[in-house]
Amino acid sequence: MEKIRIAFFDAKDYDRNSFVKAGEDREFEISYFETRLTEATVRLAEGHDAVCVFVNDDINPAVIDALVEMNVKLVALRCAGYNNVDVKYAYKKIHIVRVPAYSPYAVAEHAMALLLTSIRRIHKAYIRTKDFNFSLNGLTGFDLHGKTVGVVGTGKIGRIFIDICRGFGMNVIAYDKFPAEGSGITYVTLEELWAQSDIISFHCPLTDENYHMVDADSIRQMKKGVVLINTSRGALIDAEALVEGIKQRKVGAACLDVYEEESNVFFHDYSNHIVDDDTLARLISMPNVIVTSHQAFLTEEALTNIADTTLANVAEFFAKAYSKNEVCYKCPEVATCKQQHETKCF
């Protein structure tokens, strides 16, 4: 039997290591490319059966047409979100599979790590003590116990984050378009969540409906000094509005693992370059903003699960008449998708 040929885009060392380990003794031939998948690089996929992509690859109509022309049959996302794929245009042209869950604990724990680092000024203390400066001036934080945290999105990651917050003695309220029945979670409207929360954490996919759900208007509705945490998708937050909210002292702190214009910046080393994105530069320069480069998923457990599930998705797609992790435009909301995946989506 011929090996399944996979063009692997935006490949990093940690990707190679986990996929090489997961693919040992299996029927795959993987070509690793450091570049992202874009219109300019899509021809690298020629001669392959599938492409493997990540969050910043751009699977737009032009890319989809080129893949179809080259007889590529499958786009295998090694992540849960698929907002970077034009799934409607892909329908009946090329199939899409994803990794719906790899380590919800990794992302939820990173969100809490960002929060604790920010409010207890751990990042500032670390820098000071490296210079043997042991002054406590300016390092005063606040207790999490008794504070109200608003959680937007109560899927697996959101619910794990809620459990962590409850362990700190926090009051939890949440918003989800599709509330988890019988979960014991107190659901409120978005307007109520903005108004009542001391801390707001986002754990939802990006859709047309919630694009820039945090904008100038929603920030005006929030408590003065609110702390925002985003480990989901950057475009949930209007970055310009966030900058203004911080400058006006309305937003007390921002903890960002994602950024709406991250695709040409995150996952790369620009330490010896000038970054052209003025908004990102302003955010990073602010003392109450912590930015990590989309690393919430990055644990040994998550990388293993991503590699195992991605290769299982590819093998299943080419061997069977169905693919349990397939997505298409007919099921834009995973919570309400009625596709039983007993057959392929088309």
> Which of the residues 294, 301, 316, 333 is marked catalytic?
294
Interaxial angle between packed helices 156-167 and 104-119, expressed in degrees from 0 to 180 and rounded to the nearest 10 = 40
| Domain span at 13 | 4-102+299-336
Residue 273 and residue 137 in one domain: yes
User: Which pLDDT score is estimated for 101?
Assistant: 83
Tally of structural domains, the chain: 2
Using a 10 angstrom Cβ sphere, with 0-12 exposed, 13-18 middle and 19 or more buried, the burial of residue 92 is: exposed
Residue 8 and residue 119 in one domain: no
Q: For this structure, is 262 an active site residue?
A: yes
> Which of the residues 233, 260, 273, 342 is marked catalytic?
233
Kindly tell me if the per-residue pLDDT of 337 is higher than 60: no
User: Which pLDDT score is estimated for 122?
Assistant: 97
Q: For this structure, is 233 an active site residue?
A: yes
Q: At 11, which CATH number?
A: 3.40.50.720
User: Which pLDDT score is estimated for 342?
Assistant: 66
pLDDT in tens, 218-238: 999 999 999 999 999 999 999
Kindly tell me if the per-residue pLDDT of 335 is higher than 80: no
Please check whether residue 19 lies inside any domain of the structure.
yes
Instruction: Give the pTM.
Output: 0.88
Kindly tell me if the per-residue pLDDT of 274 is higher than 90: no
Residue 44 and residue 123 in one domain: no
> Which of the residues 262, 301, 326, 342 is marked catalytic?
262
Q: Kindly state the tokens that stand for 89.
A: 């245009």
C-alpha 239/C-alpha 246 separation (Å) is: 11
Residue 202 and residue 71 in one domain: no
User: What is the pLDDT confidence band of residue 340, given thresholds at 50, 70 and 90?
Assistant: low
